[in-house]
Chains A and B, each alone.
Chain A
Amino acid sequence: MAVQTPPRTTSSPPTTTAPQRPGPPWTEKWGGLFFVAPFGVLFAFFLLWPTLSGLWNSFFNTSLAGVQQEFLGLRNWQEMFGDPAVWASLRNTLVFTAMSTPPLVVIALVMALLANRQGLLGWFLRFAYFAPFVLPATVVTLIWVWIYQPGFGLVNGLLTAGGFAEIDWLNTENRAMLAVVITTVWWTVGFNFLLYLAALQGIPEQVYEAAAIDGASGRQQLFRITLPLLSRTTGLIVVLQLVASLKIFDQIYLMTDGGPNYATRPIIQYIYESGFTSYRIGYASAVSYMFFLVIVIVSIAQFRLFGGRKEADR
């Protein structure tokens, strides 16, 4: 992922054997562990342990208090596969991902092409395109719920000013998800924009100069040089974006609370509700694990596709 780490020194001859100072043998052998230990302890406590205890819980009937545990075997898992709410929320998550990923890639690319090599304007453009990304979810949703208000909201104000009919964005089943997608694109596209911008700035100017001498038009340069050279970045952005979109929760919970009529409830909200509203820790854990597997599968599939292309490039 890290694109270039500039070697900061003149080419150093590879030290054949690390010149280890003959210290006490114990430090030489185990001393390195000292550096990894603080992170390792936190990792064990707050990542490894909950990951394992979540799996363990999924085989039990555990309440939030966690006192009386009844071994259920695979019953939580069986129930999950027959639970329509699981499938509906998983479907909402996938719909959101499918709707949000294309604009989040395409608009980011357009922004990067527009902002690249804009000299004086560059700072302003980078600020404007990226600024929403640094805002907390709550600030974003407070603003957008206000914008989507029927009657006096900005969007409906513009619609009525243009002679169109108003839309009750957040309370209409087939509009609510679109409203969330629009908000999400506005909020997060800046990150992908910066990835594209960094890639564009890595393309040497001479390539274009050479193409211009050969008489390539701006269009040809875009489609024959720029876009092909960006294909790797596009792969990376798609991978990161798919995984990020699958984890959707904050803005939906805050804007629609999963409604209307559960039409936007994503899988993480269902996990949250099973655990913290219905107090069914075991069941919530089973659903968490199923979702975790979905993410792992998507990541690995993407990684293999993307990784394979990387190998082919060389």
Chain B
Amino acid sequence: MSSVTIPRTKPSGPVVPRFTFPQVALAVGAVLLALVWLAPLLWAVDTSLKPEPETTRTPITWLPEAPTFAAYQSVVDQGSILRWFLNSTIVACLVTVLTLGVSTLAAYGFSRTTFPGRRVLFGLLIAGILVPPQVLIVPLFQEMSSLRLVDTYWGIVLPQVVAPVMVFVLKKFFDGVSRDYEDAARVDGATRLRIVWSVMVPMSRPVLGAVAIFTFIGAWNNFLWPFIVTTDPSMMTIPVGLANVQGSYGLRYAQIMASAVLGGLPLLIVFALFQRQVVRGVGDAGIKG
């Protein structure tokens, strides 16, 4: 900022960054708050590495005296958690792929085509954003049981694919894409479906990425609907299955924490890898689950 007089030559000594006191204070405060926010996660990992008797000892031991993976071993050996992992993976992938496909097409339809009743349908879509999925559980369950979709992947997946917010977000983005590309493609004889695939999708990659990540996280984490629509433990997703863990393990806290760590780890990894897209996605779209 005030680097007017300093010539751009390499300093001979070690570079001493000139931080002002408020900057340092802010950074220290930021790190302290970050540690507070990470503490529960670290405490969970810490507990999961203790042998069972040590978890309930008072006064608390901060670090395990002899760290062990025994708790993880027994959680995995009991079998269910791997099945729930598989279920969550299948469900979250299906929801993401279907949501992206269906929402992209609909967003294109609303943004670029005209057909009778288009405005009415779009109004209905906007109204749909207002309907909280939580109040639909009772009629949806009835519907699912008459369609015999209780305890099936489709029963868990299909209602989650209906995400009017995502269509709305994509439509707004498509509205901002210049029509020139499309017209050029049309002149070259591309069909509209082709235009969606080769023009709109590549141009909207950041938004589509954000929608995909949020849909995936949302589907993986969804508790209420899978909890309602699954009764068979072998069809449960991670969040629903883990809800039973506390009861079935009794007071074995190391095992409970090991399950929690296993249940949360994939998402933390996804987030660490795609942090940039997540941050931008929230900024651009304000998508709240």
> A residues engaging B (CB < 8 A)?
1-9, 12, 15, 18-19, 21, 29-36, 38-40, 42-43, 45-51, 53-54, 57, 64, 66, 110-111, 114-115, 118, 121, 123-132, 134-139, 142-147, 151-152, 154, 157, 160-161, 186, 191, 194-195, 197-199, 201, 209, 212, 218, 236, 240, 243-244, 247, 249-250, 254, 268, 271-272, 275-276, 281, 284-285, 288-289, 291-292, 295-296, 299
Question: Quick check: is B132 within 8 A (CB to CB) of the other chain?
Answer: yes
Give Cα distance in the complex from A295 to B130, angstroms.
Answer: 8
* A234 CB, nearest partner CB in chain B, Å: 13
Tell me if B139 and A198 are in contact (CB < 8 A). Answer: no
Contact status B40-A186, CB under 8 Å: yes
Would A36 and B106 be within 8 Å (CB), given that A12-B180, A134-B270 are in contact? Answer: yes
Q: Determine which residue in A32, A127, A271 has the highest number of CB atoms from chain B within 10 A of its CB, and name it.
A: A32
How far is it, in angstroms, between the C-alpha of A45 and the C-alpha of B283 when the chains are bound?
32
Given contacts A124-B34, A135-B264, A142-B245, contact A54 B139 (CB under 8 A): yes
Q: Is there an interface contact between A138 and B138, defined as CB atoms closer than 8 Å? A: no
Chain A residues within 8 Å of B279, by CB: 126, 130, 194, 197-198
**Shortest distance from the beta carbon of B57 to any chain A beta carbon, whole Å:** 7
With known contacts A36-B106, A129-B37, A139-B264, A123–B125 Cβ distance under 8 A? no
Most chain B C-beta atoms within 10 Å of own C-beta, residue among A7, A33, A39: A39
5 smallest beta-carbon distances between A and B, as pairs: A32-B113, A198-B283, A35-B109, A5-B176, A128-B34
In the complex, chain A residues whose CB is within 8 Å of the CB of B96:
none
Q: A292 near B131 (CB under 8 angstroms)?
A: yes
The answer to whether A136 and B114 have CB atoms under 8 Å apart is no
Question: Nearest Cβ distance between residue B44 and chain A, in whole angstroms?
Answer: 5
Chain A residues with Cβ below 8 Å from B264 are: 134-136, 139
- Chain B interface helix/strand/loop/mixed: helix
In the complex, what residue of chain B is closest to A144 when comparing beta carbons? B40
29 residue pairs bridging A and B, Cβ less than 8 Å apart: A5-B173, A7-B176, A32-B114, A35-B196, A36-B106, A36-B109, A42-B158, A43-B128, A66-B142, A125-B30, A132-B41, A134-B221, A134-B264, A136-B267, A143-B43, A143-B44, A145-B246, A146-B44, A147-B43, A152-B58, A154-B43, A186-B40, A194-B282, A198-B280, A218-B22, A249-B224, A281-B138, A288-B136, A292-B131
B268 CB-CB contact with A under 8 Å: yes
A154 to B146, CA, bound (A): 47
Q: A31-B113, A128-B34, A151-B56 are contacts. A139–B263 as well, Cβ < 8 Å?
A: yes
Quote the shortest CB–CB distance from B287 to chain A (angstroms). 9
Which residue in chain A gives the minimum CB-CB distance to B131?
A51
Closest-CB distance, B62 to chain A (whole angstroms) = 9
A292 contacts B283, CB within 8 Å? no
Contact A135 B267 (CB under 8 A): yes
Interface residues on chain B, number (Cβ under 8 Å): 112
Docked-complex contact A138 and B135, CB < 8 angstroms: no
Distance in angstroms from A286 CB to nearest chain B CB is 10
B contacts, CB < 8 Å to A: 1, 22, 26-27, 29-31, 33-35, 37-41, 43-44, 47, 55-60, 101-103, 105-106, 108-110, 112-116, 118, 121, 124-125, 128, 130-132, 134-143, 146, 158-159, 161-162, 164, 167, 169, 172-173, 175-181, 183, 186, 192, 196, 203, 217, 220-221, 223-224, 228, 238-240, 242-243, 245-246, 253, 256-257, 259-260, 263-264, 267-268, 270-272, 275, 278-280, 282-286, 288
